[in-house]
Amino acid sequence: MVGTNNFLRRRQELVNRHGWTVTAMYPTDNAREPSFAYTIGLTAHGRPELIIGGTGSRHRTGTAQRRG
HSE-up of 20 (CA within 13 Å, CB side)? 20
Q: What is the pLDDT of residues 32-57, one digit of tens each?
A: 777 888 999 999 999 999 998 876 65
**Mean pLDDT over the full length of the chain:** 82
CA distance 10 to 64: 18
**Which pTM was predicted?**
0.69
Tell me the domain boundaries of the chain.
2-67
